[in-house]
A and B are shown apart, each in its own frame.
Chain A
């Protein structure tokens, strides 16, 4: 057998140390909290999986999780098609494309809490453009009083904030398609829709996958914007998972349940991303599912 030089492991060591301090150790602290009841720094009791069991039975958590999943799915359903449509309608070259790119990217440059503040003012019925306009139209709109309005406002805010990211990714994907594909499609007599369905969409698969994963993870962890806009209200209408967690850990100082919940939260995101990723890997590459077009 060929002798293997094991010295290369030393080269990985700095990374291992960095990751240990930045990720593994903090995570272990959380694990540590999640299995103990810390009454005071001197008195701590090992409770096993009790916190986990308690968190799993928590009705408020179930509601927050359901709200969160609904929100993230709504975000994907709206932002992905809208982003694609936006990218398709953006000019391909020249000064116009640069100008449009800058304008489209603007909302991505705004800090999250500022986004929340902007929409908080924007939606106010007395001084906000949106709120006052809706009121003028005779629509009874209040993101502070009406649960549905609050939820919709948070969704629209997220769409406004993050659709440009999807659009920019798709735009990059579209620009990487060689001209010959469009020429061949013209020769083959393909309709506009066929060009989209058989050239643009398949060629955007890679960037769309990134867009879906990014938007899913980010929206699943959303905190700042709804916190600033609605503070989770009215009632619990816009209390998403991360805000619920903060309430538990910082508000009520229930470190044990909060730690257990953090781990579950982490695992949920990991699991859902894994499922999404694998599902998207299969879409458009499966031999059999697509064979019905002949």
Chain B
């Protein structure tokens, strides 16, 4: 167990020339010992690359990986003592469930009694106890993935456990259950867990710290709350939340701080105002959808040719406007964020 420090860049090409040649642009990042992290981002953003760099399956083309201060860049996954679970179940066909779970321990020469005890515990945690003597090859996909998870968790002394979208093949209801299980295991074992996903709900419920990535860059590291309330980059605002943040030119509002190019406000924080209130912007309602727990209202500010679409979430108790109706929107509040031309958040004084 150790703190993991990355200071590196990686390109799968031999001779990277421009930013797009890099799978991972130069970055410096730390994962604290015992933390639960999620790497969140769309497909191809470099999150799996980062995971493989940490585990040692891939060597960075530049820079170093440090575990607890020691440079482990040149070490193999085995030497780094990393456990990793992959997107699709990997099981050893000819072995039983118990033998599969025991495999990482057996390869490291752990004593048979110790192996039996650990396999028993892990099987218990993952509710595989009843299937220990069955052949793993004959099981359903979710049971196979539980075995893969189990092999990741069976060693107690690992530096970190890495998960690469491990719940992709799992049924939704089981997904939720397994995620809770992982969280619980994290609390019990205090292992460093790093979890790659493109599902924000998964990331936000699993991790204490979420690393949001896009196009080879880690744009923000923060708690679920920080990512939601103060997205450090417009991409975070857009990617986190359902629907994502509304972005409008800051010039719409005279009160915007200097240097702000764009204003961002979450659909949850857009308010319906009266015409005479300060800051009320006139808008035309385009569509009203009943999403069950809230109304999703799509409105249009400005003229048809030069206008901006704004989404807002309204309480189901509230009287929802009708499509075509004219409304006044309040966009400015304590939760409103301003972004510069570089798409990064402008930190406000005391906001």
Chain A residues with CB under 8 Å of B83's CB are: 187
Assess the A183–B86 pair: CB atoms within 8 A: yes
Which of A56-64, A76-84, A133-141, A197-205 lies on the face that meets chain B?
A: A197-205
Chain B, residues 82-101, CB within 8 Å of chain A (1/0): the string is 11101110101111101100
A 272-294 contacts with B by CB, 8 A: 284-285, 287, 290-291, 293-294
Q: Is B30 an interface residue (CB 8 A)?
A: no
Assess the B94–A190 pair: CB atoms within 8 A: no
Q: Is A41 an interface residue (CB 8 A)?
A: no
Assess the B88–A178 pair: CB atoms within 8 A: yes
Q: Is B102 an interface residue (CB 8 A)?
A: yes
Assess the A186–B90 pair: CB atoms within 8 A: no
A contact face: mostly helix, strand, loop, or mixed: helix
Across chains A and B, the number of contacting residue pairs, with CB separation under 8 Å, is 70
Q: Is A181 an interface residue (CB 8 A)?
A: yes
Smallest CB–CB gap between A142 and chain B, Å?
47
Assess the A294–B99 pair: CB atoms within 8 A: yes
A 176-198 contacts with B by CB, 8 A: 178, 180-181, 183-184, 186-191, 194, 198
Chain A, residues 27-60, CB within 8 Å of chain B (1/0): the string is 0000000000000000000000000000000000
What is the bound-complex CA distance between A189 and B55, given in angstroms? 12
What is the interface size of chain A, counting residues whose CB is below 8 A from a CB of the partner?
23
Instruction: Identify 18 new A-B residue pairs, CB closer than 8 A, beyond the known A188-B103, A189-B104, A294-B116.
Output: A180-B87, A180-B90, A181-B90, A183-B84, A183-B86, A184-B86, A187-B77, A187-B104, A194-B107, A198-B94, A198-B95, A202-B93, A203-B93, A284-B93, A285-B135, A287-B96, A291-B96, A294-B102
Q: Is B131 an interface residue (CB 8 A)?
A: no
Smallest CB–CB gap between A196 and chain B, Å?
12
Assess the A190–B57 pair: CB atoms within 8 A: no
A 55-106 contacts with B by CB, 8 A: none
Q: Which of B57, B77, B92, B134 contacts A198 (CB 8 A)?
A: B92
Smallest CB–CB gap between A188 and chain B, Å?
4
Q: List 27 A-B contacts (CB under 8 A).
A: A183-B86, A183-B90, A184-B86, A184-B90, A186-B57, A186-B77, A186-B78, A187-B78, A187-B82, A188-B151, A189-B78, A190-B103, A190-B107, A194-B107, A198-B93, A198-B103, A202-B93, A202-B94, A284-B93, A285-B137, A290-B95, A290-B96, A291-B96, A291-B133, A294-B96, A294-B99, A294-B116
Query: Which 10 interchain pairs have the tightest Cβ spacing?
Result: A184-B90, A189-B107, A188-B104, A202-B93, A198-B92, A189-B78, A180-B86, A187-B84, A202-B94, A186-B77
Assess the B88–A180 pair: CB atoms within 8 A: yes
Q: Which of A183, A188, A199 contacts B107 (CB 8 A)?
A: A188
Q: Is B246 an interface residue (CB 8 A)?
A: no
What is the bound-complex CA distance between A181 and B89, given in angstroms? 9
Chain B residues with CB under 8 Å of A183's CB are: 57, 84, 86, 90
Q: Which residue of A lies closest to B79 (CB)?
A: A189
Chain B residues with CB under 8 Å of A198's CB are: 92-95, 103
Smallest CB–CB gap between B25 and chain A, Å?
24
Chain A residues with CB under 8 Å of B148's CB are: 184
Q: Which residue of A lies closest to B132 (CB)?
A: A294
Chain B, residues 116-140, CB within 8 Å of chain A (1/0): the string is 1000000000000000011101000
Chain B residues with CB under 8 Å of A189's CB are: 78, 104, 107-108
Q: Which residue of B lies closest to A290 (CB)?
A: B94
Chain B residues with CB under 8 Å of A287's CB are: 96, 134-135
Chain A, residues 187-227, CB within 8 Å of chain B (1/0): the string is 11111001000110011000000000000000000000000
Q: Is B251 an interface residue (CB 8 A)?
A: no
Chain A residues with CB under 8 Å of B107's CB are: 188-191, 194
What is the bound-complex CA distance between A202 and B86, given in angstroms? 20
What is the bound-complex CA distance between A294 and B298, given in angstroms? 60
Chain B residues with CB under 8 Å of A202's CB are: 92-94
Assess the B92–A199 pair: CB atoms within 8 A: yes
Q: Is B76 an interface residue (CB 8 A)?
A: yes
Chain A residues with CB under 8 Å of B96's CB are: 287, 290-291, 294
Q: Which residue of B lies closest to A184 (CB)?
A: B90
Smallest CB–CB gap between A183 and chain B, Å?
5
Chain A residues with CB under 8 Å of B92's CB are: 198-199, 202
Chain A, residues 124-162, CB within 8 Å of chain B (1/0): the string is 000000000000000000000000000000000000000
What is the bound-complex CA distance between A189 and B78, given in angstroms? 6
What is the bound-complex CA distance between A293 and B104, given in angstroms? 14
Q: Which residue of B lies closest to A199 (CB)?
A: B92
Chain B residues with CB under 8 Å of A291's CB are: 96, 133
Smallest CB–CB gap between B132 and chain A, Å?
9
Chain B residues with CB under 8 Å of A186's CB are: 57, 76-78
Smallest CB–CB gap between A12 and chain B, Å?
35
Smallest CB–CB gap between B141 and chain A, Å?
14
Smallest CB–CB gap between A235 and chain B, Å?
46
Query: Which among B92, B104, B107 has the highest number of chain A CB atoms within 10 Å?
Result: B92
Smallest CB–CB gap between B2 and chain A, Å?
17
Chain A residues with CB under 8 Å of B90's CB are: 180-181, 183-184
What is the bound-complex CA distance between A188 and B96, given in angstroms? 16
What is the bound-complex CA distance between A287 and B137, given in angstroms? 10
